[in-house]
Amino acid sequence: MQTNIKFQLTLMSFIQFFAWGSWLLSTGAYLGANLKFSGIQIGAVYGTMGIASLFMPAIAGIIADKWLSANKLLGFFHITLAGLMILIFNLRDFNSFYPVIFLISMFYMPTIALGNSISYALLEKNNLDIVKVFPPIRVWGTVGFILAAWFVDFFDLGITPNQYYVSGAASLFLGIFAFFLPSVRPEKNNDKKTLAKSLGLDALVLFKNKKIVIFFIFSMLLGCVLQISNMWGDGFLRDFSLQYADSFAVKHSLMFLSFSMISEALFILTIPFFLQRFGIKKVMLMSMLAWVLRFAFFGIGDPGSGFIFLSLSMIIYGMAFDFFNISGSLFIEKEANPSIRSSAQGLFMLMTNGLGAIIGAYGSGFVIDLYTNTETSQKDWSTIWLIFAAYSLIVAFIFVIIFRYKHEPEKLNSIHH
């Protein structure tokens, strides 16, 4: 029974992120190269994920807590996503494309938290150690994302709407499969979980703490860069097609970009060592400097003699992404009162994947348009990436000066026990 549950949850995680990986990395290039969307328009498309992250996970959490089994809600969301993917296939102009991609973000973003909740509940129900068993299950989500990008790349679907059919097929499968998972029923308790509480708004008391206020501001500022290379990376590499048509990074741009996700999976394993040795502030600073290198390597690299720099950018991504998300979450866990633990984490996600992501999507789109030749549509990618690198460096510099934090390993250990 336990083995069966672990397999079911692993398959759920794999397909859930396969559906996302089928289009997340490639949509930017498709919209720019095929549909001729502007930078601001592409930024707006990706910004829908940030807007959806502000409130949809909270609403889904309330529904799953009060009225509908979490697995059935997951199934309903993914079946709806399958229909939306069919609908978006034939849309070619921004005014029709945007509302549908907004709905896609509305229905997809809450499934990440729902998937985690289902896994936790079923593992606990089967007397399995969540801390030990869940990470190997969740890592298959990253594998699914990577293989989806490889599939789309191998069949050259990245700049065609066919990528949405791939995602839709995966969502339809998961939508049906979710209804056959063991039911995760709403808890029968007297706790009133309001929308405000689910959004983390009861954690606003944390803003009385100057250190946490500063931390949340930097979370938002760094949250601006989290999706930039996912938005623009594929289009950037494809723009080298005239000079380096035979380069692996151009011919298989999505596969090449997916090495960033492999790096992400590997760097997760190093976090306990770095946190224990250097503390949360230095690990956060490492993340910021890693973002500087991520963008700078893109700025000076190319698929020819500069291929080494592109490769280094893939490797450093894991440190840039993981060290910020994981260490930031642990900082909030340590500083927040246990009574508002979940709300505090919700507020952290709101600042990064919500407000930060929205600002980053529109801001990067503005920079792209600013350095795009209106007559030839050619982009000055080197300048664009170096601007993003300069932004990350400025944030890191101010962070060192303003954020005060004393590393206390014994308190860090108490988080895990």
The full set of domain ranges for the chain reads: 1-183, 194-417
Question: Quick check: 89 and 169 in contact, CB under 8 A?
Answer: no
**Residue 354, token pair as written in the block:** 């919500």
Residue with tokens 């308790």: 189
pLDDT of the residue at 210: 83
Domain 1-183, CATH class in plain words? mainly alpha
pLDDT of the residue at 73: 95
pLDDT of the residue at 213: 87
d(CA 332, CA 206): 10
pLDDT of the residue at 336: 75
Residue 258's φ and ψ, nearest 5 degrees, are -65, -15
Domain 194-417, CATH class in plain words? mainly alpha
Q: Model's pTM, two decimal places?
A: 0.87
Nearest alpha carbon to residue 248 among 162, 315, 154: 154
The three state secondary structure string of 350-388 is HHHHHHHHHHHHHHHHHHHHHCECCCCCCECHHHHHHHH
Instruction: Indicate if the alpha-carbon torsion angle 188, 189, 195, 197 is positive or negative.
Output: negative
Q: How many helices (H) and strands (E) does the chain have?
A: 19, 0
Phi-psi region of 320 (alpha: psi -120 to 50; beta: other; left: phi over 0): alpha
pLDDT of the residue at 415: 46
Question: Quick check: 73 and 111 in contact, CB under 8 A?
Answer: no
194-417 and 1-183 share a CATH fold: yes
Q: Where are the beta strands (DSSP E) in 84-238?
A: none
Nearest alpha carbon to residue 263 among 229, 326, 311: 311
> What residues have CB less than 8 Å from 204, skipping those under 6 apart?
347
pLDDT of the residue at 334: 78
Burial of 1 (0-12, 13-18, 19+ CB in 10 A): exposed
**Residue 404, token pair as written in the block:** 């005060």
Using 70 as the pLDDT threshold, list the residues of the chain that sit under it. 1-2, 187-203, 339, 341-343, 406-417
Instruction: Indicate if the alpha-carbon torsion angle 170, 171, 175, 181 is positive or negative.
Output: positive
